[in-house]
Chain A
Amino acid sequence: MYIWDSNILRHFGEEHPTLFLHLGRVPPSQIALPSVTVAEVLRGRCERALKAEPEYLPFAHTLLAETLDILNKFRILQFDEKCCQILKELKRRHKSHKRYADMMIAATALAGNHTVVTRNEKHFKTLLPKVRIANWIDEEP
């Protein structure tokens, strides 16, 4: 299974052509969103839906609804107990500061032998084996 980092969802929404080439080779059943990505995207949409100026609120709530609709079309991999154990192990192993969300996504990948699709390969290369990282934006299939 390929699990998408948030930046891939960004380019998916923006119609990135190289990403589209990869999508031609992978069926939707092989793609999932880690619940960390879902949480990050919803947080952004919810912040606006709760804090926007009055005239912008209807638009912000429309975007929230549309985003929910799209997220729901994907399989979502929930961060579970197994991910939690792996995350703790990753934290033990990596004493230097790491971005917490990157580590959570890496733990989700390791828990299910998944591949992380990301544009931020450098943030994952110390957390995951190279074969478990793919960049569908800068590398053509």
Chain B
Amino acid sequence: MQYTVMLTQKDDGIHAIVPGMPECHVKSETRSGVLSLIRDNILQTLRKSEIVQISIPELPEPGSTANSETDWRSYGYGAFRNDPEWGKLFDEIEHNRDLTLTGRERD
């Protein structure tokens, strides 16, 4: 298996990194030294690692109407946005649920 290694001369020596493997980063005074170190580093990293492929569902394009097949407004989506009673009605539902508990009536 061939790996691409990028060597960079810096003030404190030669740095080696492997694109796509951020854990692999070594430095040495000499070119041969840094190549030897990075080889060991890649091997050690591979021993501890597993490469898996996962699939991610495609996101809809921005602005696309994924809902266009269903006209949810015809089902009432947003139908009560201007109805001040609508929210109160559901507050009461929650309140009534809090009052109607199991274990209080005779089983």
Query: How near does chain A come to B60, taking the closest CB pair, in angstroms?
Result: 7
Chain B stretch 86-107: residues in CB contact (< 8 A) with chain A: 86-87, 89-90, 92-94, 96-98, 100-104, 107
Q: Could you say which of A27, A41, A100 has the most chain B C-beta atoms within 10 Å of its C-beta?
A: A100
Interface residues on A, range: 35 or more
Chain B stretch 52-107: residues in CB contact (< 8 A) with chain A: 60, 66-67, 69-70, 72, 74-81, 83, 85-87, 89-90, 92-94, 96-98, 100-104, 107
The chain A residue with its CB closest to the CB of B107 is: A91
Interface residues on B, range: 20 to 34
Once the chains bind, are B107 and A28 in contact (CB under 8 Å)?
Answer: no
A contact face: mostly helix, strand, loop, or mixed: helix
A20→B60 CA distance, assembly (Å): 14
- Other than the given A9-B90, A97-B103, A99-B102, 6 more pairs (CB < 8 A) read A12-B76, A12-B77, A20-B72, A69-B76, A91-B107, A101-B100
